[in-house]
Structure 1
Amino acid sequence: MAVVMEENANPMKFEKLFKVTPEMIDENKHMNNVWAVQWVQDISIAHSDSVGATDVMYQFGCGWMIHTQFVEYKNQAFLGDEIRGTTWVAGYSKVASVRKCRFERVSDGKVVFESETQWVLMDMKKGRPFAIPQEIKDRFQVK
């Protein structure tokens, strides 16, 4: 599904470190999948912030909303694991972007999970899709 690679401002790929903490552990003694979805959102926002796209989005009165999301779990993560997340924008349509993420355990390089999310840009006042301005697209290099 993906490609790979600490937190940086590379417009093509963005990396951020995460750590599995006690509140993330479920009754099966591993990180609950709810946290994977949270991390996808967290790294996506951090990437957008790092290249100034979030500010541009707010200037246009827009916000991203998830339309579809696919998460593939490959290995478990456990308490104390340090996980490197990598994300990039893979493509655009008129009102949507596809963002991919890959999360791997730092200690052994094993992929814990990968995701592909279609985000739709919404006009926050009208509640309808909004054509993605070139000023936002220009902040990311599409891979």
Structure 2
Amino acid sequence: MARVKLDLPERFAFVTTLDVGIGHINYGGHLGNDSALTLIHEARMRYLKSLGFTELDIGGLGLILCDAVIVYKSQAFWGEQLRAEVTAADFNKYGCDLFYRLSQASDDREVLRAKTGVVFFDYQQQKPAAVPVVFLDAMETQS
């Protein structure tokens, strides 16, 4: 069976630390796949906040997640702290990809790589919208 491969950008624009809580642990005793998406969502929210945005207000537009890829590299366990790196890349007319790398903070062991495709969305008109200039400007300041 072919495995999914996810190449990451060389540089990440944002870093935060996330705790693996007991609610993130599955019956196998490690980070559950559903909780991996929860941690990625938390990292995305913190990234956007660092830029002065929320998922519902980026120049008046919101974000819609259109796809997600997670590649697991090692287990994560209750009580561990993970370093979550986030960056935006691969822009198109309506959105971009957000890339993530979560690593165990104390020993740099990579836990997972992820990518979420996002589309900018005008909730009033209920349709996709072009990437807001304020978001593109924020990306320029990170370079």
Q: TM-score range by the shorter chain?
A: 0.7 to 0.9
Question: For the structure 1 residues 53 and 21, does the alpha-carbon distance in structure 2 shift closer, same or farther, using more than 3 Å as the test?
Answer: closer
User: Which 10-residue stretch deviates more, 96-105 or 40-49?
Assistant: 40-49
Root-mean-square deviation (CA, aligned residues, Å) is 2.2
* Identity percentage of aligned residues: 22
Alignment match, 1:124: 123
Give the TM-score normalised by structure 1. 0.85
Report the Cα distance in structure 1 between the residues aligned to 2:65 and 2:59, rounded to whole angstroms: 20
Alignment match, 2:48: 48
Give the TM-score normalised by structure 2. 0.85
Question: For the structure 1 residues 80 and 56, does the alpha-carbon distance in structure 2 shift closer, same or farther, using more than 3 Å as the test?
Answer: closer
1:20-58 per-residue CA deviation (whole Å, 9 max, x = no partner) reads 111211110111111111111111121111112339935
Is this contact kept in 2: 1:53–1:139, CA < 8 A?
no
Segments of structure 2 that go 5 or more residues without pairing to the other structure are 1-6
Segments of structure 1 that go 5 or more residues without pairing to the other structure are 6-11
- Partner of 1:77: helix, strand, or coil? coil
In the alignment of these two chains, the number of paired residues is 136
Alignment match, 1:9: none
- Partner of 1:16: helix, strand, or coil? strand
Alignment-mate amino acid for residue 47 of structure 1: Y
- Partner of 2:38: helix, strand, or coil? helix
- Partner of 2:54: helix, strand, or coil? helix
Is this contact kept in 1: 2:56–2:63, CA < 8 A?
no
Alignment match, 1:64: 63
- Partner of 2:44: helix, strand, or coil? helix
Is this contact kept in 2: 1:4–1:86, CA < 8 A?
no
Is this contact kept in 1: 2:64–2:119, CA < 8 A?
yes
Report the Cα distance in structure 2 between the residues aligned to 1:90 and 1:50, rounded to whole angstroms: 17
Is this contact kept in 1: 2:58–2:134, CA < 8 A?
no
Is this contact kept in 2: 1:14–1:88, CA < 8 A?
yes
Report the Cα distance in structure 1 between the residues aligned to 2:107 and 2:8, rounded to whole angstroms: 18
